[in-house]
Amino acid sequence: MADPVFNKLALIGIGLIGSSIARAVRRDNIASEIAISTRSAATLDRARELGLGDSYHLDPAEAVRDADLVVLCVPVGACGTVGEAIAGVLKPGAIVSDVGSVKGSIVKQLKPVLPKGVHLVPAHPVAGTEYSGPDAGFATLFQNRWCILTPEAETDPGAVQTVRRFWERLGSNVEVMSPEHHDLVLAITSHIPHLIAYNIVGTAADLEDVTQSEVIKFSAGGFRDFTRIAASDPTMWRDVFLHNKDAVLETLGRFSEDLSALQRAIRWGDGEALFDLFTRTRAIRRSIIDMGQEVAAPNFGRDVPDGKQG
């Protein structure tokens, strides 16, 4: 087995992402020691029962003492508070990272509170499921998924390299970009998809002429797909939208403009415009499958016979 990338890892937050990191780090000897902190005593007990770490702390400052890498695995809106709580205890040369789905806000929240000599290397593993909590995690969550790092130009290259190696050992492909570009890219590949999924599930729940029971029964017509991401953690996603407001509103504007054009094509019976778009979109899925980011099996493989490939 390969050597640890560093000695002590502190995970602040031990939900889906934190517990998946803990499991993979333990399995593959990526750090010698794992300290876990979370503010809920019940969650901390559960993490202990699951044997996810070496030490367990309600106070994040205790967990980060002597840590080489601290990874904040809490909702984006909580990162500044955690940063303040740990700032005085971080050892010189420690690296602080996170897993948040928004990066500009993370830099804004953490940079002012971290002491000189501590390196900030924000990270975003583009991976997850619709389940939450320490039981939801699994060691292969990051396997063949992308992890985006958004250090500033002046960040210590050695610190960036350490975080890169850490994520590569977790199975990810690593890419580096600016926080601003990250927030724009994720607005379209993640935030707007979640927003419109939440929205359509809400719309369906509020119709008067269609019963809830009908929505559920006939959901295999397409609706059920959207309920998966609309079942994602509400606190996490509230924070994403509050902290990536500008990019989300900008991208949502594009989406709505395009939807109005489709609406008009339907109203005026412009079958050619519909057919053209519907043909163009097919190719993109093929590319995602070819890049190993999606399965080829029909219906995500969920209710088709084994071996039935598209």
Distance separating alpha carbons of residues 34 and 191, to the nearest angstrom: 31
Question: Shortest approach of a copy of itself to residue 47 CB, angstroms?
Answer: 17
Question: Shortest approach of a copy of itself to residue 114 CB, angstroms?
Answer: 25
Question: Shortest approach of a copy of itself to residue 96 CB, angstroms?
Answer: 23
**In this complex, which beta carbon is closest to a copy of itself, that of residue 161 or of residue 212?**
212
Residue 160's CB is within 10 A of a number of other CB atoms, namely 19
Helix (H, G, I), strand (E, B) or coil at 230: coil
Question: Shortest approach of a copy of itself to residue 222 CB, angstroms?
Answer: 4
How far is CA 288 from its chain centroid? Answer: 18
Say if strands 69-72 and 95-98 run parallel, antiparallel, or are unpaired. parallel
Kindly state the tokens that stand for 178. 């600016």
Question: Shortest approach of a copy of itself to residue 97 CB, angstroms?
Answer: 18
**In this complex, which beta carbon is closest to a copy of itself, that of residue 39 or of residue 181?**
181
Cβ-Cβ contacts under 8 Å for 299 (sequence gap 6 or more): none
**In this complex, which beta carbon is closest to a copy of itself, that of residue 84 or of residue 225?**
225
Cross-strand bridge partners of residue 95? 69, 119
Say if strands 146-149 and 123-125 run parallel, antiparallel, or are unpaired. antiparallel
**In this complex, which beta carbon is closest to a copy of itself, that of residue 28 or of residue 54?**
28
Distance separating alpha carbons of residues 30 and 55, to the nearest angstrom: 16
Question: Shortest approach of a copy of itself to residue 32 CB, angstroms?
Answer: 25
**In this complex, which beta carbon is closest to a copy of itself, that of residue 70 or of residue 148?**
148
Distance separating alpha carbons of residues 199 and 205, to the nearest angstrom: 10
Question: Shortest approach of a copy of itself to residue 310 CB, angstroms?
Answer: 5
Distance separating alpha carbons of residues 26 and 169, to the nearest angstrom: 11
**In this complex, which beta carbon is closest to a copy of itself, that of residue 111 or of residue 254?**
254
Q: First vs last Cα of the chain: how many Å apart? A: 38
**In this complex, which beta carbon is closest to a copy of itself, that of residue 120 or of residue 174?**
174
